[in-house]
Amino acid sequence: MSAKILSGTETAKTIREELTVEVAELKDKHNVVPGLVTILVGEDPASQSYVTAKNKTAKALGINSEQVTLPVDTNEEDLLALVEKYNNDAAVNGILVQLPLPKHVNEAKVLDSIDPNKDVDGFHPVNVGNMVLGEKCFLPCTPHGILELLQRSGTETSGAEVVIVGRSNIVGKPIANLMLQKREGGNATVTLCHTRTKDLAFHTKRADILIAAVGVPKVITGDMVKEGVVVIDVGVNRIGKAESGKAILAGDVDFDAIKEKAAAITPVPGGVGPMTITMLMKNTVQAAKMANGLL
């Protein structure tokens, strides 16, 4: 068997076309232009490229987008003051602080300082709490993108054995939660594995849907999955540099080996990454609608 490729690039393109229409309508009918601010502290190359992609996508959709880049030694107080400024700016509907932050800054404190109504990342405790309760909230972008990708590819989740590898706040914990919820795209039996899991392969071999979000290149090998599994690879690992200077990327799963056994698999790049960015746009449009009484 050779797996169907679950192209995030293609699915994201469809959703972006839908959003472009929605943004144009907001402007024409209500004179509302969604506004997004991204804040990057430091010069981490991966973070730089994510933030640049987020701004470029926002602009292409007709969203007002501002990118703020601060030096790596920016102190916590200054960062909190900047967030507060955008909390009070009516033209800004969404605020995103790119993670990870430098060690001297308290990440939780910064995320807590973002107005929950502008928290388009879905990382504020109010949004996390509402997500767990299944209430209306901003869903975190990567888990939201995974749900859309599964749903739009017609993957059945109800009753499926979903095995997630990685327990981060950004991916593992929220996707585990969303997939077990009693709703469309949920109703799965979820196993969440992590660095202390005793026999990882025992669990991954049982998966109907396997979600890898560990940040270690090709750690999930061909012998760790069963025939017919659907694999979502969240890993974007830089494993070298091409002559052109461009980073060579690899996912958390051994794509070449697993595609021979899987029913479907996301590529890296071009899988989950474009979906994450697109869900940020969706949340920003949602935030603009909420701020203007249109939701």
Give residues in contact with ligand GUN (CB under 6 A). Answer: 96-99, 121, 141-142, 170, 276
Residue 98 is a catalytic residue: yes
Residue 173 is a catalytic residue: no
Q: Please tell me which residue in 54, 118, 173, 218 is annotated as part of the active site.
A: 54
Which CB sits closer to ligand GUN, 48 or 64? 48
Alpha helices in the chain (DSSP H): 8-30, 45-61, 76-87, 107-113, 125-133, 141-152, 172-180, 200-204, 255-258, 272-291
Provide the Cα torsion 79, 85, 91, 94; round to 10°: 40
**Around Cβ 90, how many Cβ atoms within 10 Å?**
8
Which CB sits closer to ligand GUN, 3 or 110? 110
Which CB sits closer to ligand GUN, 53 or 132? 53
Residue 151 is a catalytic residue: no
Least distance CB 46 / ligand GUN (angstroms):
8
How is residue 97 written in tokens? 């602080």
Which CB sits closer to ligand GUN, 123 or 255? 123
Quickly list DSSP for 212-246: E-SSSTT-B-GGGS-TT-EEEE---EEEEE-TTSP
How is residue 167 written in tokens? 């327990």
Least distance CB 38 / ligand GUN (angstroms):
8
Residue number, nearest CB to ligand GUN:
99
Provide the Cα torsion 186, 276, 7, 211; round to 10°: -50
CA distance 2 to 45: 34
Q: Please tell me which residue in 115, 121, 252, 254 is annotated as part of the active site.
A: 121
Least distance CB 153 / ligand GUN (angstroms):
21
How is residue 228 written in tokens? 């017919």
Least distance CB 124 / ligand GUN (angstroms):
11
Q: Please tell me which residue in 98, 115, 173, 259 is annotated as part of the active site.
A: 98
Which CB sits closer to ligand GUN, 47 or 155? 47
What is the chain's length? 295
Least distance CB 170 / ligand GUN (angstroms):
5
Q: Which residues are catalytic?
A: 54, 98, 121
